[in-house]
Amino acid sequence: ALNTDNIQSDILVGMNKNQELFYFFQINDATTFKSKMSSDIIALITTTTEILSVDTQPVTAVNLAFSQHGLDTLGITDDLGDPNFTNGQLSDLTGDLPGPIGDDESTWIPEFTAGTIDGVFLLASDTADNIDTQLASIQSTLGSSITTLYQIQGAARPGDEAGHEHFGYMDGISQPAVNGFTNPVLPGQTSIDAGLFLVGEVSDPNFSVRPPSGWATDGSFLVFRQLQQLVPEFNQFLATHPLDQDTLTPEEGSELLGARMMGRWKSGAPIFLSPTQDDPALGADPMRNNDFDYLDNTTHANVDNHFNQSQCPFAAHIRKAHPRGDIETAVENPHFILRSSIPYGPELTASENATGVTANDRGLAFVAYQSDISNGFAFLQNVWINSVGFPFGKYDLTPGVDPIIGTLNGLGAPKNISGLDPAVPDLDQTELWHDVVIPTDYVVSKGGEYFFSPSLAGLEYIAGT
């Protein structure tokens, strides 16, 4: 079993609150910062054990992670054994394999291009007021040893939309199960060794190059991305391209197109199990809503699945990001992440709805944990999501980029996606004419950074140096 007293709460469980603030800071005075870590800050950090029970959950959960720039500032000279982390996220726009991650730097905000962020506090609670109180207390403790660089306020959406992101789809359904932690394992969940998420644990692919003193053990690399969602533009695209106009109403045809781009209906029901209409009962049922593998329903053979997009396009978001039987029968798949994202920004206004043009910034404060960024986020984004040929080996050799988050070099270029229209299943190897063309990107990266979220013992180690 894992030592859940030593692991920060967001990694394996999430912050489990409706409000979450990402507070990015710069360290001005390493000595004072480390001394305040020891005397006050570490005591505030929420562990996995604490978050698991409502009885022990703090009013405001707090996690803390550092960039490489931050570890440098704090005088930590150990190489954590993750080059993507060491070089920072900005360098993955132009870096070596498995980058680039596809963003165009022109869409990044200056706070992320500056490369000066040393750390991030994650603060989560039921109310924004609780978070403000906790943040004020942290700021008063740390005084002038830090400077605020940027903050993003995340929040669950209101009412029935709680749990849904800004495009309207239920999120947070599918996560890998972590051996030695997740219990029970739900149908369709893949069990993964803890070392794919936690440094130094079983099957950590870079075990041999971690700091020999062991202080990085039970930490995890946190990929943060501010992903803006152009919701009215996305809705307008769906509204003007309804599928199957012979049998469906325009509204139903638009819903079907969105669901086929995502791989799930707005309720969370997987289209692979319910291809023609939403099934909210299926979406809400954890015993069924993740129990599919993209293989033949009865034989679970891999043969038919190379031809058939009737149940789910090859390029659907959830299939690109987790191809299940498309690859898992062939190889042990090391490309898993634990997601802990939350929406940010206001609800759509009536005028945005009417004009179809975004006036307010909103999107997803994307968070993913892994023990190797090049196997995790960077691999998913580069080799799967942004690659027109993945899943490889299909009858159609160009399924297309991910229709939700895939981008052709971050430039908003039109994207040809195979098999989105079930009436025209796109079996042809060479001709692209019946792909659905998505005219631009509806998710735009505003930038991000790579962080390391140490264990509690790791935080003590840092503070003691």
CA angle in degrees (0–180, nearest 5) for 456-457-460: 90
Nearest by Cα to 288 from 269, 275, 305, 303: 269
* Cα 185 to Cα 183: distance, rounded to the nearest angstrom: 5
Least separation, in Å, of the C-beta of 42 and ligand N7H?
31
Least separation, in Å, of the C-beta of 326 and ligand N7H?
11
Among 66, 121, 167, 221, binds ligand N7H (CB under 6 A): 167
* Dihedral over alpha carbons 301, 302, 307, 308 (to 10 degrees): 60
Give the other-Cβ count within 10 Å of 246's Cβ.
6
CB 264 within 8 A of CB 283: yes
Nearest by Cα to 363 from 376, 351, 379, 346: 346
Number of residues that bind ligand N7H (CB under 6 A): 27
Window 406-445: residues binding ligand N7H (CB under 6 A): 443
Among 380, 401, 420, 444, binds ligand N7H (CB under 6 A): 380
Among 30, 404, 438, 462, binds ligand N7H (CB under 6 A): 404
Segment interacting with ligand N7H (CB under 6 A) among 122-130, 145-153, 166-174, 447-455: 166-174
Distance linking the first and last C-alpha atoms of the chain: 29
Q: Contact between 84 and ligand N7H (CB under 6 A)?
A: no
Segment interacting with ligand N7H (CB under 6 A) among 64-72, 302-310, 326-334, 380-388: 380-388
Catalytic site positions = 171
For ligand N7H, what does the binding mask look like between residues 279 and 318, x meaning CB under 6 A?
Answer: --------------------------------------xx
Using N-to-C axis directions, what is the helix angle for 231-240 and 250-262, rounded to 10°?
Answer: 120
For ligand N7H, what does the binding mask look like between residues 125 and 154, x meaning CB under 6 A?
Answer: ------------------------------
Least separation, in Å, of the C-beta of 189 and ligand N7H?
9
Among 169, 215, 237, 344, binds ligand N7H (CB under 6 A): 169
Classify residue 289 as left (phi > 0), alpha (psi -120 to 50) or beta.
alpha
Q: Contact between 192 and ligand N7H (CB under 6 A)?
A: no
* Cα 405 to Cα 76: distance, rounded to the nearest angstrom: 35
Q: Contact between 227 and ligand N7H (CB under 6 A)?
A: yes
Give the other-Cβ count within 10 Å of 393's Cβ.
12
Helices vs strands, H then E, count in the chain: 16, 13
Q: Contact between 155 and ligand N7H (CB under 6 A)?
A: no
Alpha carbon distances (Å) from 191 to 217, 307, 328, 329: 21, 28, 12, 14
* Cα 221 to Cα 269: distance, rounded to the nearest angstrom: 30
Q: Is 234 helix (H, G, I), strand (E, B) or coil?
A: helix
Q: Is 128 helix (H, G, I), strand (E, B) or coil?
A: helix
CB 260 within 8 A of CB 275: no
Q: Which amino acid is at 10?
A: D
Least separation, in Å, of the C-beta of 119 and ligand N7H?
22
Q: Which residue is nearest to ligand N7H (CB)?
A: 174
Among 67, 73, 134, 174, binds ligand N7H (CB under 6 A): 174
Q: Is the Cβ of residue 118 or residue 255 nearer to ligand N7H in the bound state? A: 255
Q: Contact between 377 and ligand N7H (CB under 6 A)?
A: yes
Least separation, in Å, of the C-beta of 166 and ligand N7H?
7
Segment interacting with ligand N7H (CB under 6 A) among 64-72, 165-173, 177-185, 304-312: 165-173
* Cα 214 to Cα 80: distance, rounded to the nearest angstrom: 10
- Token couple for 304: 């038919």
Q: Is 129 helix (H, G, I), strand (E, B) or coil?
A: helix
Residue 25 burial (C-beta neighbours within 10 Å; 0-12, 13-18, 19+): buried
For ligand N7H, what does the binding mask look like between residues 236 and 265, x meaning CB under 6 A?
Answer: --------------------------x-x-
Least separation, in Å, of the C-beta of 392 and ligand N7H?
18
Q: What are phi and psi of 112, to 5 degrees?
A: -95, -25
Q: Is the Cβ of residue 58 or residue 280 nearer to ligand N7H in the bound state? A: 280
Q: Is the Cβ of residue 292 or residue 452 nearer to ligand N7H in the bound state? A: 292
Q: Contact between 278 and ligand N7H (CB under 6 A)?
A: no
List of residues contacting ligand N7H (CB under 6 A): 165, 167, 169, 171-174, 227, 229, 262, 264, 317-318, 321-322, 337, 339, 363-364, 366, 377, 380-381, 385, 404-405, 443
